[in-house]
A and B are shown apart, each in its own frame.
Chain A
Amino acid sequence: MRIHSALLPVLCTLALLAGCAQPPTDQINAAEQAVKEAQQSGAATYVANDYAKIEGLLGALKKEVADQDAKFALLRDYGKAEQLAASAKAEAERVKTEAVKKMEEAKDGALQAHRVAQEAVKSTLELVAKAPTGKDRAALESIKTDAEALKASLNDVQMMIDKADYLAAQTKAKAIHEKSQAVSHEIEAALAKIGKGKPAAAKRK
């Protein structure tokens, strides 16, 4: 009986210590923060599949914590939750890095396409400026209108870039480039035709 009495406080302390197992709140918060940062870095757009999976991992973590919380206090074990939190955090950080890389690539692609389109439109406008102000105006006026419209469209691309809508910006910039080249060919043909004649003096009409 004396032994039992001596052991009782020790056993009670051990039982209390075991019963005080707490969920790994800090690790869970860190994992949630990492997933949030991945989302803010554009993961849902640029690495959508991976992002869905880290959300899934976060879901599994929460479920595991809820399962343990539902158990009798002395039987709770948050070891698996800790592992899941660590995996979710590490995976979220990897996904964030990947998303940032993909977004940078898309941004670079959009900026490059924008520059190419700007150059093409500039060349077209220079060709328009070379056109004589004399007669064959129907074609040249139409081409001038088209070139001005292309110039205005470049602003749309810039706005898309400003809004970080890089994929749409790149597609539009490529369309402008393609159209600009077509207009340039048209004006070169018109200039070649007009070049054979003398530009007429401007008239009041």
Chain B
Amino acid sequence: MLPIHRQRPISGLTFWAGALALAGTLTGCAEAVPQDVIEAVESIDRDLMQLRAAEIAPNDYSSFAHQWVTLRTRVEAEADLIRWPWEPNDLELALRHLRDEGSRTVAKLAEQQATLRRAAEHRLAHVEERAKLITAHVSAIDSRLVLGAKPVETDLLMKQARAFYGQGRYEQSLEASDRAARNLAVQATLLNRELGRYASRDRIIQWQQMAQDTVEWSRTHHAPAIVVSKADRTLTLYKNGRQVLSYPVRLGFNGIREKRYQGDGATPEGRYRITGKRGQGQTQYYRALVLDYPNQEDRRRFVHERKTGHIPALRGIGGQIEIHGVENELMAQTLGCVMLDNPHMAHLFERVDKGTPVTIVGALHEQNSVALALAHLAVRGDET
């Protein structure tokens, strides 16, 4: 016979003993805890584990686990006990309470996870879209090198965010996306710092003045003069102060920046003159017009920047800046010069002489491609 949970005083009368035994037989004796309640709590525990409750809501899971372990210990200890059906069963009540509490925790965590998942998805999509936009603008204005390692760092963070998202680690995904977003903001800042002069009204007025002076020189001297606009990627030839031709050009691999030292791939800005003409056989680039870079102003700026530590001590100022043709269309890029297609170069070569002024400016109007790209990135940045 199974032991009963608690001994109850009963009368010694056979009648009452028989009555009690009959009642027990008729109503049936209760288990310590119904199995379905235990299975329900076990199922909740599995759900919580699947939701990684111990990681994402450690306090909630800890509270559940403490109660569950305590109650399970009691369940095991009282497994062999039976109760009278009318006896209060605090263990069962505690388990039912834990089941209900656990169910609420599962529902709450599932909702939290769903919210986190949506937030991570939205954030990642937003960052990826912003990265695409910056990449497109950077590519359009040939300024990828301005950003150094930042694009790769951002790309890695986005890949990490995508991987964490796939693993269901939404908090880590959000964190990686946030870091990528901050990295993109740094990219926008870098672009503004390096290329902000293209959006500077004062600087553009200065460049416009330089171009006007060159055109005026052409008019007063009845001679050719060249103006190159880096933002527009155009070379314009003037004769007697009138525009004769305008050709598209390609710049150095880092041409959008202001030239500072040898090997930086930037195309210089300033007032230059043609100091030499190299025909076929004298240059590897079809035909070339040699400029007097570095001029006095370039040297003065170089010395100042080196003194202030903005240029590495071992760097030289560079030279041999030319307007030239294309050596090989498949390798159509220059190191810091101004490059034209060969037919255009042939036309230009015939129309200029040694001493012809060449003015290279950043931009000639406020709505230039670089300024527009920076403005667009700033507006879209504000939207974030």
- A residues whose Cβ falls under 8 Å from a Cβ of B: 44, 48-49, 51-53, 55-57, 59-60, 63, 80, 84, 134-139, 141-142, 145-146, 148-150, 152-153, 168, 171-172, 174-176, 178-179, 193-194, 196-198, 200-201, 203-205
Contacts and interface: CB of A to CB of B under 8 A. Distances in A.
B163 interface: yes
Given A145-B148, A198-B328, A205-B320, A175 B69 contact: no
A49 to B, nearest CB: 5
A52 B67 CA distance: 11
B265 to A, nearest CB: 6
Given A49-B49, A52-B61, A137-B265, 7 more contacts: A48-B55, A60-B73, A138-B265, A141-B253, A145-B149, A175-B159, A198-B328
Contacts of A80: 77
Interface string B155-190: 111011001100000001000000000000000000
Interface stretch (B297-305, B329-337, B367-375): B329-337
Interface of B: 48-49, 52-55, 58, 61-62, 65-70, 73, 77, 142, 144-145, 148-149, 151-153, 155-157, 159-160, 163-164, 172, 252-254, 262-263, 265, 284, 316, 318-321, 327-328, 330-337
B224 to A, nearest CB: 25
A176 B156 contact: yes
A60 B54 contact: no
Contacts of B155: 175, 179
A205 B336 contact: yes
A163 to B, nearest CB: 15
15 contacts: A48-B54, A48-B58, A52-B62, A138-B144, A141-B265, A142-B145, A146-B152, A153-B152, A153-B153, A179-B155, A194-B330, A196-B330, A200-B331, A204-B320, A205-B320
B262 A204 contact: yes
Contacts of B54: 44, 48-49, 51-52
A59 B320 contact: no
Nearest to A141: B253
A80 to B, nearest CB: 7
B328 A135 contact: yes
Contacts of B52: 48
A204 B55 CA distance: 59
Contacts of A49: 48-49, 53-54, 61, 65
A179 B49 CA distance: 34
Contacts of A44: 54
A145 B155 CA distance: 14
B30 to A, nearest CB: 23
Kindly name the residue among A148, A171, A174, A176 whose own CB sees the greatest number of chain B CB atoms within 10 A.
A171
Contacts of B321: 205
Contacts of A198: 328
Contacts of B157: 175
A60 B49 contact: no
Contact of B320 (A142, A193, A200, A203): A203
A176 to B, nearest CB: 6
A137 B49 CA distance: 54
Contacts of B53: 49
B65 A52 contact: yes
Given A63-B70, A178-B159, A138 B318 contact: no
